[in-house]
Structure 1
Amino acid sequence: MYSKFSILFLQVLCLATLIAAVVAYDYHHGPAYSSQHISRHDVGHGYGHDHDYYAHPKYQFDYKVEDHHTGDIKSQHESRDGDVVKGYYALHQPDGNERQVHYHGDGHTGFHADVKYNVHHKHYHH
């Protein structure tokens, strides 16, 4: 049996994949670049008396969208091992700046995020 978290994770992942595919397609100029990778590491145990009934939650995924025509440029990588989640995402904002976020969380220290911005100055010529 899958845990409620596993089912929810797979539903969110399918939705994100569908959204990325729709966003990545530019109807006027052909397809844009989009990729993803998912690795699930189920360490399931048997249903005997000496075994845990639930699988140890462990996964990693990443995705990337690059559509220079619309400016939709983003990527994410996340991994989980037990109650420890680590990840990174970056996106180009509408103002031209790039936001980079490294995050981690666990059951002892909670959620922490380090957010940085790379400011890209626009130059205008008359």
Structure 2
Amino acid sequence: MWTKAALVVVVVGVALAAPSDSYAPPRHQPAYNEELMPYQFEYGVKDEYSGTDFGQNEVSDGKAVTGSYTVQLPDGRKQTVTYVADHYGGYQAEVEYYGEAQYPHEYGPPVTFKPQSYGHPQPSYQPKPSYQPKPSYTPAPSYQPTPSYRPTPSYRPTPSYRPTPSYH
């Protein structure tokens, strides 16, 4: 009897000692006293052939981050975002656009890239298209098949109910 009571007390004690909300942050978070390191980076991509043009630069003094990035938009404008971010003011950005948006009424052929030969000669043959053009008219069939036999039904149902005339 005492062992059962002791077992119940142990189980209740373990249940009460477990945290009630396993998704809550821990009560005692360790303090990190590391100095933030300053950094600086910059990159840019500009490919005239494909029309790709974007870049970014960023500088941090260990307390605040300042930077900007640019991108060439599909409508022909260039977008520049200049930003400042720190622990007190958060992320603050200014967006500017350069150029005028262009919306053509007709679009040209899709952008395709020419294979680069890297010193190798191009093949001398020209591949044929994989599709066959269809005629602009629909030809009428000239052959009308006629059946060579006519099947005869082997079973003819007979009605089981025959109404009697109502005129006597």
Q: Do the aligned partners of 1:86 and 1:105 also contact (CA within 8 Å) in 2?
A: yes
Structure with the higher fraction of residues in helix conformation: 1
Q: 2:82 aligns with which of 85, 91, 102?
A: 102
The runs of 5 or more residues in structure 2 that have no matched partner are: 1-31, 105-168
Q: How far is 1:82 from its partner?
A: 1.6
SS in 2 for 1:73: strand
Q: Do the aligned partners of 1:71 and 1:94 also contact (CA within 8 Å) in 2?
A: no
* CA displacement, residues 31-67 of structure 1 (integer Å, 9 cap, x when unaligned): xxxxxxxxxxxxxxxxxxxxx9634321000001010
Q: How far is 1:105 from its partner?
A: 0.8
State whether structure 2 residue 49 is matched by structure 1 residue 66.
no
- In the alignment, which residue of structure 2 is the partner of 1:91? 71
* Counterpart Cα distance in 1 of 2:55 and 2:92: 19
Q: Which amino acid in the other structure matches residue 101 of structure 1?
A: V
CA RMSD in angstroms, aligned pairs only? 2.3
- In the alignment, which residue of structure 2 is the partner of 1:118? 98
State whether structure 2 residue 52 is matched by structure 1 residue 76.
no
> Which structure has more RCO (C-alpha within 8 Å, separation ≥ 6)?
1
- Normalising by structure 2, we get a TM-score of 0.39
SS in 1 for 2:66: strand
SS in 1 for 2:91: strand
- In the alignment, which residue of structure 2 is the partner of 1:47? none
* Counterpart Cα distance in 2 of 1:105 and 1:55: 17
- How many residues matched? 73
Question: Whose radius of gyration is greater, 1 or 2?
Answer: 2
Q: Do the aligned partners of 1:98 and 1:117 also contact (CA within 8 Å) in 2?
A: yes
* Counterpart Cα distance in 1 of 2:101 and 2:85: 33
